[in-house]
A and B are shown apart, each in its own frame.
Chain A
Amino acid sequence: MTQAMDLARAVFLEPHGLDGDKLEQVLSRLVASDTTLADLYFQSARYEAWGLEEGIVKSGSYSIEQGVGVRTVCGEKTGFAYTDEISLPALMDSATAARAISRAGQSGSIRMAAQVPAASARYGIDDPLKSLSEQDKIELLHRIDARARAISPHVQQVMANLMAAHEIILVVDEQGHLRADVRPMVRTNVSVIVERNGQTESAMAGGGGRFDLDWFLNGDKALQFADEAVRKALINLDAQAAPAGSMTVVLGSGWPGVLLHEAIGHGLEGDFNRKGTSAFSGRIGEQVATKGITVVDDGTLEQRRGSLTMDDEGTPTNCTTLIEDGVLRGYMMDRQNAALMNTHSTGNGRRQSYAHLTMPRMTNTYMLAGPHDPQEIIASVDKGIYAVNFSGGQVDITSGKFVFSTSEAYLIENGKVTRPLKNATLIGNGPDVLTRVSMVGNDLALDDGIGVCGKDGQSVPVGVGQPTLRVDGLTVGGTATG
């Protein structure tokens, strides 16, 4: 079996004549006597996407990107340059530019280190673009279209996309260690527009992860996304105005875990806490959630969209406990912030591409299961809302205020789920929202693999999850007052 390292060497080093001596030359140029850390990040990425609309596959695209990011860090300072040309002169130029951050002299020559053992692989290295023939990809999109239209005569439009990506990564650190990772990713999205009696609504469903495209064929998973999109859109046709004001909110399991991502996840990223700009800064050891609540960030889950065998600095990913039994335990770290805070990287150093700088980012963030049956949680609420799907969220790290917007929600009256509600934004305060959680379900689920997280202009794939939760006193931004 070909290993990630063999593939990375064959793509980045051998064809460009970059042997150990040449990498040593680049590192020796890059590293100064006051360097905290430095790295070369080689990346090659290929993407393919097919799009169906109005019953035909109208669009297809293919793209290829390749380059090297060159970084040096001295304490809080970072110098960075990149090149899309993989050659010794281009790397030396980038190293000179990045090194300008340091006024210190050369550190002398760097020797390449012995090969380090590879981290345990969390996914296969096969190219998902080749996992189905073009005809089969197109056939799959047509089957999604036919399925969605067969469910309901109200379906007016079906838009379905099929995407596959294959990335090869090689990280060379300041001590001359080489670490490689090969990352597959696939995804399907289905959007539908329904119309009934002149009223129009839409909904979307989808999923994916780090595996081959035939995953969508197993048990007709792609068709289930079509079912789900149509189901949600038809429910939205019956939706009535959501209430406005503070009330009890029951959040469904799985994707509503976007709550954790926004309310606490970003606020626990190492960079904000090192700088003291997060609402969670300096609060390790404090009670920030109801007793019994445990939240982790876990990049090690097999084949998940947010998982990584190693992060973009070559550190193997971990399952990091963020909150344990309601107490804030730890932050998510990359190498630079860990060094500045005298701790170690948690394997959360991620970047969008070779042309972007590494930052602490989440992987798969979720809350562990609790004792309650989900039905028992709903039955406990006299008046409130039951929110089971969301379109996304955002947070102000410093004030701690966060939002997430429903895409499928219902009114709860006298312990029963009654009418569907129009989309509404929920707003809360990150540091105290988890202290308002009064019941935790026994039904932990992770999302289907659709999450994209944006930070500082960089997008990375992530996962979220949680059991059903009862939150007392969250502001619901509907239009129905009184």
Chain B
Amino acid sequence: MIELDNREALGAEFQTLAQDFLKAAKAKGATAAEIGIDKGTGLSVAVRMGEVDKLQYHRDQGASISVYFGHKKGFASSGDLSPKALTDALEAACNIARFTAEDEYNGLADPELMAREIPELDLYHPWDVDAARAITLAQETEQAARDHDARITNSEGAEVDSYAGLGVYANSNGFSGITSSTRHTVSCAVVGQEGSAMQRDYWYSSHCLPARLEPAAAIGHKAAERTLRRLNGRSLSPRTVPVLYVPELAKGLVGTLVSGISGGALYRKATFLLNSLGQPVFPDFVQLSERPHLPCTLGSRAYDAEGVATFDREIVEDGRIQGYFVGSYSARKLGMRTTASASGASNLILHDTGQDWQGMLDALGTGLMVTELIGSGINMITGDYSRGAAGFWVENGEVQYPVEEITIAGNLKDMFRDIRAIGNDVDLRGRIQSDSVLIGGMTVAGQQAG
């Protein structure tokens, strides 16, 4: 079993450490202070070609501290939690605060916004798995992939990971909270070959509850299928066509939206979504919700990195931006109130427009289905978007052949406005629950074949 020994005692010990630190900070003359202490333990096994490849035991811990002298701030972190190390870290943070500038927006979040009632989010479910069982499970996963088809000729292996962690956050406004969570992942990546050309693809399942992981064989088969369908890809000549993002890539579009309406980008005016609050950034059927309290879901949290209580809210309603993602610093800079987003977005749900997968392909008609994106060609200031891609050429709603070594390009402002449909084939892994997304037109470039 991968779990934290004496979890309750550990939480209590960290809370005491935190309170001792806050007292010490006050004694140093700090007008405010905050501290996060984390500890985690994990097991990771990797199997390749049926044999054990790696067996790794993880044990992580660390503390992050901030001290404020009026509006001057200092930050330090330490991997050592001994009282001596924390005293040294406090010393270092105080020294930094002597040299940083007065910044009137600096400070803890407002006391009245602190989480008071902590909902039970049911995130801690240790997995009763030891190294031997994890190895067997990884072997079953990889074997299913390798047995799937003779064209699966090689493997990068299968991995089973289990992690349990606990965190305490406390600040001098009187807030102190403990969270604990688990995360379990089974993944598999295999190589397929036809002629001399090879392709690799993968699949994974991840959840805080071991029982909710996809079965090993299903993960292996899916990894194999995804690899095989890429074999014998062609390039495409330049053209402007509709583009369908599969659910796991549509998450990336949602992630880009989040970056574009996050406090730091907004107050620096470093985003193409400046002043977008209330604006129709999307067509009127687009709805995006933030739901931080979903039980047993990886992105759930009762409070953010400043202790501010999280709450359900709508980010996009009828195509209009209804909320930014701001922590208390950027909120003050923008003259707003924090949205409990000091740790970024929690669970996001992009609502569908009713089509199933075939319905989405029919809506695509003739165009490109994108299944992989590589590179980071996004200019957040202008919204210009240009990335390497692989996927499938689709005609009249039917998949024709795999395509690779192509780019897709456009501008995110136009792409967001040009969303035509959102599928109901939701990918529940991770904190963004996204469906496939169809965009009306993007420029595709490739070699002059196909």
Chain A residues close to B by CB (< 8 Å): 50, 53, 56-67, 76-84, 94, 97-98, 100-101, 134-135, 137-138, 156-157, 159, 193, 195, 200-202, 242, 244-246, 275-277, 279, 355, 357, 391-399, 401-405, 422-429, 473, 475-481
Contacts and interface: CB of A to CB of B under 8 A. Distances in A.
Contact of A477 (B77, B103, B269, B445): B445
B115 to A, nearest CB: 26
A156 B375 CA distance: 28
A451 to B, nearest CB: 14
A405 B376 contact: yes
Contacts of A242: 386
A63 B78 contact: yes
A61 B406 contact: no
B270 interface: yes
B386 A391 contact: no
A200 B381 CA distance: 7
Contacts of A98: 55, 57
A481 B156 CA distance: 39
Contacts of B197: 399
Top 9 closest A-B pairs, CB basis?
A477-B407, A403-B388, A403-B375, A398-B200, A56-B101, A60-B96, A244-B445, A405-B377, A425-B377
A193 B61 CA distance: 37
B33 to A, nearest CB: 15
A81 B57 contact: yes
Given A397-B200, A404-B375, A427 B59 contact: no
Given A355-B60, A399-B404, A479-B409, A77 B51 contact: yes
A170 to B, nearest CB: 17
Contacts of B156: 275, 277
Given A79-B56, A275-B156, 11 more contacts: A64-B88, A78-B54, A138-B99, A246-B448, A396-B200, A396-B372, A398-B191, A427-B446, A477-B445, A478-B386, A481-B443
B213 interface: no
A429 B405 CA distance: 7
A477 B379 contact: no
A60 B74 contact: yes
Given A59-B75, A97-B57, A398-B200, A422 B80 contact: no
B406 A475 contact: yes
A422 B376 CA distance: 14
Interface stretch (B13-21, B235-243, B285-293): B235-243
A401 B269 contact: no
A76 B48 contact: yes
Given A429-B405, A475-B447, A60 B270 contact: no
A157 B265 CA distance: 12
A193 B103 contact: no
A63 B99 contact: no
Contact of B375 (A157, A246, A394): A394
Contact of A59 (B100, B375, B376): B100
B78 A64 contact: yes
A67 B79 contact: yes
Contacts of B56: 78-81, 357
Contacts of B375: 392-394, 403-405, 425, 427
A299 B189 CA distance: 31
Contacts of B230: 399
A403 to B, nearest CB: 4
Select the residue from B75, B154, B405, B445 with max chain A CB neighbours within 10 A: B445
B89 interface: yes
Interface string B92-119: 1101111111110010000000000000
6 contacts: A56-B101, A76-B53, A246-B446, A423-B384, A427-B388, A476-B445
A83 B377 CA distance: 39
B446 A478 contact: no
Contact of B79 (A84, A202, A424): A84
B407 A425 contact: yes
A161 B445 CA distance: 37
Contacts of A157: 268-270
Contacts of B223: none
Contacts of B48: 76, 275
A200 to B, nearest CB: 5
B428 interface: no
B383 to A, nearest CB: 11
Nearest to A474: B447
B55 A78 contact: yes
B52 A61 contact: no
Contacts of B269: 156-157, 193, 195, 200
Contact of B57 (A66, A80, A426, A481): A80
B342 interface: no
Contact of A76 (B51, B102, B154, B388): B51
Most buried by B among A82, A97, A426, A479: A479
A276 B191 CA distance: 9
A64 B103 CA distance: 26
Contacts of A475: 235, 405-407, 445-447
A59 B329 CA distance: 12
B280 to A, nearest CB: 20
B73 interface: yes
B199 A427 contact: no
A429 B388 CA distance: 12
